[in-house]
Amino acid sequence: MSVSYAPAGKPGKWDGVMDWCQMLSGAGLILFMWCHMLLVSSVVISPDLMDYIAEFFESTGMAQVGGPVIFLVFLTHFVLAARKIPFRFDGQKVAWQHARMMRHGDTWLWLVQVLSAMIILIMGSIHIWVVLTDLPISAMKSAARVQSGFWAIFYLVLLPLIELHVGIGFYRIAVKWGFVKDSQRARFKRGENILTMLFIAIGFITLLRFLFLSVA
């Protein structure tokens, strides 16, 4: 009696393709978030500078087209990453028990990334929707939003979560795909921590600038 089997390499091949897509979409979002933070923080130098940058992106159509594209990449990345996230309670319990048992730093980083991803999916979607449905972007409009009270708290939560998620993602991509050797891991991790704290600090300074920017 002959028995036929499905090709063994096929599931692995597609899983590998999806891993590549997850890595590339994650790397693209990391680059976008760093650039986005630096561009928004231009308000610290001058509100006029931020308005000039925003006007450039809108006049060239990059904001109107780029915004939805980024949102699509954002959702795609989440779907790809969700393949490895346990959504059932028993799976979550096992992941938590393994993290406690192994006491492995990178495992805890993955758990932080998973938890932050769930919150960012909701809050990030709200932020993108509010910004894209209220074009054009301006320093005064952003300041008025932050000074309303609710949005200040909203961004105080979203900002560190995004930067933690981005920083951990940057580290995990570098380690997983062999860009950083085992002997370089500790030093690279320290550098990533410094970079993450730097972007969080820039974000908080930017929020303070919006809070105290006169919108009268």
The HSE-up count of residue 175 (CA atoms within 13 Å, CB side) is: 19
pLDDT at 10 over 90: no
Q: Is position 3 within any domain?
A: no
Q: Is position 171 within any domain?
A: yes
CATH of the domain at 182: 1.20.1300.10
Q: Is position 174 within any domain?
A: yes
Domain that holds residue 140: 13-211
* SS3 (DSSP) at 40: helix
| 104 in a known ligand binding site | no
pLDDT digit string, tens, across residues 43-89? 999 999 999 998 888 888 777 788 889 889 989 988 888 776 655 55
Q: Is position 17 within any domain?
A: yes
With beta carbons less than 8 A apart as the criterion, state whether 43 and 213 touch: yes
Angle at 100 between CA 94 and CA 101, to 5 degrees: 85
pLDDT digit string, tens, across residues 23-56? 898 899 999 999 999 999 999 999 999 999 988 8
| 98 in a known ligand binding site | no
| CB within 8 Å of 206: residues ≥ 6 apart | 37, 40, 41, 43, 44
Q: Is position 7 within any domain?
A: no
pLDDT digit string, tens, across residues 106-153? 666 777 788 888 899 899 999 989 988 888 888 899 998 989 878 999
Q: Which of 125, 124, 145 is nearest to 134 (CA)?
A: 145
pLDDT for the residue numbered 63: 78
Q: Is position 35 within any domain?
A: yes
Q: Is the dihedral of CA 61, 63, 69, 73 positive or negative?
A: positive
Q: Is position 2 within any domain?
A: no
State how many domains the chain has: 1
